Amino acid sequence: MTFETVSTNTAFGGVQGVYKHHSTATGTDMTFSVYVPPHAAGAKLPVVWYLSGLTCTHANVTEKGEFRRACSELGLIFVAPDTSPRGEGVPDDPDGAYDFGLGAGFYVNALVEPFAEHYRMRGYIESELPRLVAEHFPVDMERQGIMGHSMGGHGALTLSLRDPGKYKATSAFAPIVSPLNCPWGEKALGGYLGPDRETWAEYDACALIAAGARLPDLLVDQGEADNFLTDQLKTHLLVEACEAAGQKATIRMQPGYDHSYYFISTFMADHLEWHAARLKA
């Protein structure tokens, strides 16, 4: 498997790197970032995966997430993948919309052509990228956490719910909690998976919880001033699903905060401390 270092920078005593490789899952080159905190030689560290939202690449959180100080202090490796395949021949939304196609992979394995060949972000995040990271970085794969924002919050929740025990900690910022019940989700899941809504349920956190999937715990922050809250995010559906199922969850509504990285960066350290407490050796 090809592996290329694009850049490295020292930060808070650790190394922030950007890397590229050819993915067999997507059939394209993929770029991702990794922050490795200062650590003793030979040590294996817990890892937190961060899944980004619509229109984003690895660069958004890497440049604006303000996670490195906390990761350095807590001893956490932080990995930020891209949100979709990219490159020549990768199909995009035919109308050039931002909520489907490039930058909007929705962390699914697509079934519908022309997207099925390349849009395999579920397989990429679940299997291929972890193998690559474990090969090149000092990660303890028994201590994994996952978090994400918006579309990436949807990804973090559903990946964790589908694979009980793999992730010891799960959190999200302003997640799309029920793609079955919002325009973003209906467009994406219909476009990638086809019209059979039964196939969509494994990509819907609320549906997974209702069907019996459980997490040891869950942390969610949602800004009350988020302009996507009412029509797209619908946080109340996750509250209702967790209460009905007895799923342990801390879901915090944050007055004055919107959907931006000003919001995410404000609560990033809280989330990383929450992960670190659950990823102790």
Catalytic option among 58, 154, 259, 275: 259
Q: Give Cα 242 to chain centroid, integer Å.
A: 20
CA–CA separation, 249 and 267 (whole Å): 17
Cβ atoms < 10 Å from Cβ of 113: 8
Q: How far is CA 281 from CA 75, 89, 127, 143, in A?
A: 11, 44, 23, 8
Pure H helices in 55-150 = 58-64, 68-74, 121-123, 129-136
160: annotated active-site residue: no
Strand order from edge to edge, sheet including 29-36: 4-11, 14-22, 29-36, 77-80, 45-51, 139-149, 169-173, 219-223, 250-254
CA angle 16, 167, 28 (to 5 degrees): 55
Residues 105, 83 contacting (CB under 8 angstroms): yes
Q: How far is CA 270 from CA 99, 127, 171, 221, 279, in A?
A: 29, 28, 10, 10, 14
| DSSP SS3 for 37 | coil
CA–CA separation, 266 and 65 (whole Å): 9
231: annotated active-site residue: no
Catalytic option among 52, 178, 226, 271: 226
As a dihedral over the C-alpha atoms of residue 22, residue 156, residue 113, residue 232, rounded to 10 degrees, the angle is: -140
User: How is residue 133 written in tokens?
Assistant: 């990271």
Catalytic option among 23, 84, 150, 171: 150
33: annotated active-site residue: no
User: How is residue 18 written in tokens?
Assistant: 């950007």
The catalytic residues are: 150, 226, 259
